[in-house]
Structure 1
Amino acid sequence: MGKGANSAEEAAEVAGQVNSWVEKVTSGLIKEILPQGSVDHTTRLVLGNALYFKGAWAEKFDASKTQDGEFHLLEGKSVQAPFMSTTEEQYLSSYDSLKVLKLPYKQGSDKRQFSMYILLPEAQDGLWSLAEKLNSASDLLKGLGLHLPFGSEADHAEMVDSQLGQNLFVSSIFHKSFVEVNEEGTEAAAASAAVAVEDITGVVLFICHVLNPLLAA
């Protein structure tokens, strides 16, 4: 998105255009994806990506059944946080060290079907070992088809149909996300901007871990 910035004024203008676009397409949930100074006269290309998702559960939760319960923190302490509950049948799987809950969203007008998967380690401190089993972030991205930021300089050149591509490299990647889950469903947004170029895979993922639900309230 955009082209090279030849002055401080042009750099600020480019960053402002990206930030305004991201705020618009995420319904105002994400602002200023590019911080001040992130674009300068050395920037040749900014590739921005944004996603907004709002889905209602196929089976909504009864808000009157939401009650505070004990949420265990990694350091051993616990906090009281609101827990949604339901007596309806759910998609559940149980393993030796892990439980998985699938919560489907109401299907839209097309054939796509989205669901939220919640992974709960049996051990109160089992989050990091679970993360290791899910593999490193770079390997995960490569498996989905995103090779460019981790590839060789030759890989970089092949992705841009221009003489500029021969000298491009990823100098920085900025990412912000917002996820709200309640009895009605989920509202989520994510945006990223790489100050260079990356391979778009077409795969959309929201993935996060919850350390303390009260901090995000």
Structure 2
Amino acid sequence: MLFKLGIVFLFAIHRIHCGEVHMGDDTESSQEQDVVQVESTGNEGDTSNPTSTAPPLKLTTSTNPPSSILAIKPTAPEPIVITRPDIGKFHQNQRLFSGDLYHRVLEMAKKDENIFFSPYSISHALGAVNAGARKQSSIEIKEALKMPNFSADLMNALFKFVTDDKFSDKEKTDVIAIMAARSFIQKGFLVNQNYVDTLQLYYNNGIERLDFAKSKNATSRINNWVESNTNKLIKDLIPEGMITALTKMVLVNVLYFKAPWESKFLELKSETFHAPSGKIKVPYIYRKGTYRILEKNDVIYVAVPYKDKKTYFFIMMPKNDKAMKNFQRKPNIKREFRFLRMSITQRWKPKSVALFIPKFTTEQSLDMKKVLKGMGVNEIFDPINADLSGVSKTFLYVSDFVHKARITVNEEGTEAAAASAVVMSARSLSKNLFINRPFTFGVFEESGDLLFVGKMLNPTP
């Protein structure tokens, strides 16, 4: 299975001021800590005493960024302490955010439209924006992320800890998960040093200077970076004309995930799938084995393990239209996502079945500006009221936020990629289990976070 995703932020200027390099005279900015000291890395919800402490990160600061590639390393006087309960709450909040996000995208989707996106990529992007947002702009982001009581310092540190833990580049034989990030900044544009430091330390961003007045060249450079980091699955993330002379920053993150099924499936000839438009014939994959399964309230739940046996491809398939309507109600969706970790590991019981899953490939582009406005994030998109003063003394706002994702499921496993751009500017089942109706699906890993989530209505290989 192979997943890749990228996310891009593009900050467009609202009004031009002669700013100066600003080291954080904003109240919240001046308190930012650039040392992360993890008090504990235990399991979610474990409140026992910590047994280990990670060493502080001590780095030096460069105050005069060069015109192209930057290598600014931040420094801070004190560590930030992350506790086990903090980590547990962060993971739970990620699932709550995923449920809200899924419901909102579902509301906006066309009747027969497949859905696919990466909740973690989007939340990581919002975390990077929040690091430079202030007052109401920050409040709205934190409420959408279900972290209203988290300080900016704690949120930044948690994103770093979880991202490093989840997407490290350490060698793994079964599962590879890597996240890369880069910030593209207009040449000569003055950015608050604290914000650059925060992006580099907490969001693992490399820094590069571009001339956005040369729109085609800048667009090509960023798109090529995204494409090369998604195995060429995500192309032309930023459309022509999105970057203009008013663009001041583009923040990009790319996630790479690769894992095979625990056991390879076999490919079958076409079988029937009950799409919204009627019965269609699509290729299936098949394997007899033991899977975690639950059947409840006319919904079938299945978790298919990958090679590491810690990461799952999950399926939630309502058995009829009435069950689908009930399943998609917002309170029910939120509950399913919130308790997904507990459900898969405790409630979905191992059962031996012959499992049939349709092969499919789907790609979706999302206008996250519309999605997030429906979730209460409005001010950062307002060219008059947006407060991104933590980024620069120049008045900035987010003019666009786009997300693009692609996934393929076949007998070998899954291949997926995603990219986003923010522009500032238990009953026993029958022996054979067919996934032959519209279903919600996603990729879940042991921390409880959803790396990807979607809904399949019309499977097409």
TM-score (ref. length: structure 1)? 0.75
Query: Structure 1 residue 67: deviation in Å?
Result: 3.4
Query: Structure 1 residue 129: deviation in Å?
Result: 4.8
Point out where structure 2 has 5 or more consecutive residues left out of the alignment: 1-182, 188-209, 335-365, 426-448
Q: CA–CA distance in 2 between the matches of 1:131 and 1:15?
A: 38
Q: CA–CA distance in 2 between the matches of 1:169 and 1:58?
A: 46
Provide the residue aligned with 2:400 in structure 1.
Answer: 172
Provide the residue aligned with 2:327 in structure 1.
Answer: 130
Provide the residue aligned with 1:48 in structure 2.
Answer: 252
Point out where structure 1 has 5 or more consecutive residues left out of the alignment: 143-147, 198-202
Query: Structure 1 residue 155: deviation in Å?
Result: 8.0
Secondary structure of the 2:248 match is coil
* Highest RCO, 1 vs 2 (Cα 8 Å, sep ≥ 6): 2
State which structure, 1 or 2, has the greater radius of gyration over its C-alpha atoms. Answer: 2
Q: CA–CA distance in 1 between the matches of 2:308 and 2:407?
A: 19
Whether 2:344 is the aligned partner of 1:114: answer: no
Secondary structure of the 1:84 match is strand
Query: Structure 1 residue 152: deviation in Å?
Result: 4.0
Counterpart contact for 1:97–1:122, Cα < 8 Å: yes
- Write the letter of the residue equivalent to 1:11: S
Q: CA–CA distance in 2 between the matches of 1:43 and 1:33?
A: 16
Counterpart contact for 2:301–2:315, Cα < 8 Å: yes
Provide the residue aligned with 1:207 in structure 2.
Answer: 453
Q: Which has more strand, going by share of residues?
A: 2
Alpha-carbon displacement from aligned partner over 1:11-62 (angstroms, at most 9, x marks no partner): 2222111100010000111111001001111222212222232210012213
After superposition, the CA RMSD in angstroms is 3.2
Q: CA–CA distance in 2 between the matches of 1:29 and 1:85?
A: 26
Counterpart contact for 2:408–2:416, Cα < 8 Å: yes
Q: Give the direction of change, closer, same or farther, for the CA distance of 1:9–1:73 in structure 2 (3 Å limit).
A: same
Whether 2:377 is the aligned partner of 1:150: answer: yes
Q: How many residues align?
A: 192
Q: Give the direction of change, closer, same or farther, for the CA distance of 1:81–1:50 in structure 2 (3 Å limit).
A: same
Whether 2:196 is the aligned partner of 1:3: answer: no
- Write the letter of the residue equivalent to 1:208: G
Counterpart contact for 2:234–2:405, Cα < 8 Å: yes
Aligned equivalent of 2:276, options 62, 74, 79 = 74
Alpha-carbon displacement from aligned partner over 1:54-101 (angstroms, at most 9, x marks no partner): 2100122133xx2321111113x1101112222211111111131111
Provide the residue aligned with 1:145 in structure 2.
Answer: none
Provide the residue aligned with 2:287 in structure 1.
Answer: 86
Secondary structure of the 1:23 match is helix
- Write the letter of the residue equivalent to 2:242: S
Q: How does 1:10-49 map to 2 (within 5 A)?
A: 10-49=214-253
Alpha-carbon displacement from aligned partner over 1:157-209 (angstroms, at most 9, x marks no partner): 26x34323xx2222111221111111111111111111139xxxxx6621111
Aligned equivalent of 1:162, options 392, 398, 415 = 392
Alpha-carbon displacement from aligned partner over 1:100-151 (angstroms, at most 9, x marks no partner): 111111129xxxx32111111111475565344325x99xx99xxxxx9916
Out of 7-16 and 52-61, give the one that drifted further. Answer: 7-16
Out of 172-181 and 125-134, give the one that drifted further. Answer: 125-134
Secondary structure of the 1:184 match is coil
Q: CA–CA distance in 1 between the matches of 2:405 and 2:211?
A: 30
Query: Structure 1 residue 9: deviation in Å?
Result: 5.0
